[in-house]
Amino acid sequence: MLEQKQQIEYVIQEAQQTSSKSAKSVRLIAVTKTLTPDQTLQVAEAGLLHLGENRPEGLLSKLSLLPDSTVWHYIGSLQTRKVKEVIDHIDYLHSLDRMSLASEIEKRASRPVKCFIQVNVSGEQSKHGLAPDEVKTFLERIGPLTKIQPIGLMTMAPFEAKEKEIRGYFSSLRELRDSLQHQGFDDIKELSMGMSEDYQIAVEEGATFVRIGTALVGSLRE
Ligand SMILES: *Cc1c(COP(=O)(O)O)cnc(C)c1O
């Protein structure tokens, strides 16, 4: 797995150097959702402290085994009724996409949670996320909430998309972020985009967080 980590870090660096739109610093999140707690511990021991989970049970089963220094990212869609179980254990939520979820977090969290607004850039029916033109109003609505700390935007490219389309979706998310910043939403700085198959494109288009599972930790699965 160390080999995969080095390879991915190298690709990220190269993408940063070759693209003028790339971010100065890119955070690698190891998506450990398919791993057992023991396998996940191996990931942390390889020096990857930012871990991504997408199910409450997965996250909760790993908390006690992993070092306190682990930074937990919740990357899947979160059911409102599950908020109370997970919210105080996570550092970042990548899938804030509705007011009912924001209100439940406001009610249940005992400290602010860094949140990405999930955006459905491709317009695919099956994808979660707000339409790009709904994001500004949503940010205004969550503005008064003290437990929601909006830090950026998250998107996923459709599974079957070709490189040129994927690049288009990622650059649209960057442009939306830039436009929101111009409209005074100064806290919306981060872009969570890029997975095993498309992280190089994502970094070239300005990703500041990439979420990588298969290509990084896949070899740990039996
Ligand atoms: C599973 C998952 C990833 C990682 O996917 P890989 O293709 O295994 O790298 C990233 N983001 C989200 C939201 C996921 O659910």
Q: Is the CB of 76 under 6 A from ligand 1?
A: yes
Q: Is the CB of 194 under 6 A from ligand 1?
A: no
Q: Is residue 26 part of a domain?
A: no
Residue-number span of the structural domain to which 194 is assigned? 2-11+39-221
* Ligand 1 atom nearest residue 34's Cα: 1
Q: Is residue 208 part of a domain?
A: yes
What's this model's pTM, rounded to 2 decimal places? Answer: 0.97
* Ligand 1 atom nearest residue 212's Cα: 9
Q: Is residue 17 part of a domain?
A: no
Q: Is residue 18 part of a domain?
A: no
DSSP codes of every residue in 89-107: G-SEEEEE--HHHHHHHHH
CA 214 to chain centre: 15
pLDDT tens for the 222 residues of the chain, in order: 899 999 999 999 999 999 999 999 999 999 999 999 999 999 999 999 999 999 999 999 999 999 999 999 999 999 999 999 999 999 999 999 999 999 999 999 999 999 999 999 998 877 789 999 999 999 999 999 999 999 999 999 998 899 999 999 999 999 999 999 999 999 999 999 999 999 999 999 999 999 999 999 999 986
Q: Is residue 34 part of a domain?
A: no
**For residue 53, what is the domain's CATH number?**
3.20.20.10
HSE-CB for 98 with a 13 A CA cutoff:
9
Q: How many structural domains compose the chain?
A: 1
Q: Is residue 28 part of a domain?
A: no
Q: Is the CB of 195 under 6 A from ligand 1?
A: yes
Q: Is the CB of 115 under 6 A from ligand 1?
A: no
Q: Is residue 68 part of a domain?
A: yes
CA distance 105 to 176: 25
* Max CA separation in the chain (angstroms): 49
